[in-house]
Amino acid sequence: MVSSRQSNTIAAVGTALFMGAVFLLLWLITISWEKEPEEEGIEIVFGNQEQGGGAQPLVSEQLPVPEPKVEPVQPAAPSNNDLMVQDDEESLALAKQREEQKRQREQAEAERIAREKAAAEKQAREQAAIAKANQLGSLFGKSGTGTTGSGTTQGEGSSGVTTAGKGTSGGNDWSLKGRKLLKALPKPSADFNQEGVVVVAITVSAEGKVISAKETTGTTISDYATIQLAIRSAYKAEFNFVDVPDKQFGTITYYFKNK
């Protein structure tokens, strides 16, 4: 019979042979086995990019670019040329202002001279008219046609005193040499509140009608309405007829008194 020691030895040798055969088989399988190629697919991401699979590219943080530092510009000190230009501009402005003031003074002076000249010419024309009227009156007085003689007369026509082509009628005076009033001198209406004198220069036709009347030198009232009352009354005056082709000039003086 085989002893137990021999049996153990035989079992150990058999196990070793078995393990060697298994090891050899595995080694052969490992060498002969070829790795199959891995199938490629399409990666699908579900959800947002952060939750989806796959590697995300790293984004470099954008650093702020520092702004260039701007140095404040200091205003340059005015140069001599700038001061000269400023002085020149002020001088020109002052010169222009003085020139404008001078022009205004000259204009005002010219207007004053023109007014004085117009007033002098007006006065000269009126004086010339009165002188001409006096001259014509003298001529008419010498001819004896339709004239009054020297002395004083009273009658219905003049309603007052008449002496050598002038007289008083109703408290007002008239002067027209060589003529006499045919009726009392018309008086202005009583709707006035002025006190003073209005002298009216009149132009009388050969028929004795007043064809022109205007206020003249010697008037002391400046109220326009009162002056117009005197002028309208002067137009109503009637003088005797004179057989001459020329006009005759005279005056009517109205005296206004407040009541």
Q: pLDDT tens across 148-188, in order?
A: 333 333 333 444 444 458 899 989 999 998 888 988 999 88
* Annotated domain spans of the chain: 101-259
Is pLDDT at 240 greater than 80 in this prediction?
Answer: yes
Three-state DSSP at 85 gives: helix
pLDDT of residue 254: 94
pLDDT of residue 173: 94
Query: Residues for the chain: how many in total?
Result: 259
Model-level pTM? 0.40
pLDDT band at residue 197 using 50, 70 and 90 as cut-offs: very high
The pLDDT mean for the chain works out to: 75
Model pLDDT for residues 31-54, shown as the tens digit of each residue: 766 555 555 566 565 555 555 555
Which positions ≥6 away from 118 have C-beta within 8 Å? none
Which positions ≥6 away from 32 have C-beta within 8 Å? none
Radius of gyration of the chain (CA): 69
Buried b / exposed e along 4-40 (16+ C-beta atoms within 10 A):
eeeeeeeeeeeeeeeeeeeeeeeeeeeeeeeeeeeee
Range 194-216 average pLDDT: 92
Identify the DSSP state of 223.
-
pLDDT band at residue 143 using 50, 70 and 90 as cut-offs: very low
User: Apex CA 93: angle with CA 88 and CA 96, to 5°?
Assistant: 120
Residue in this structure with the two tokens 């001459």, named with its chain if needed: 244
Three-state DSSP at 109 gives: helix
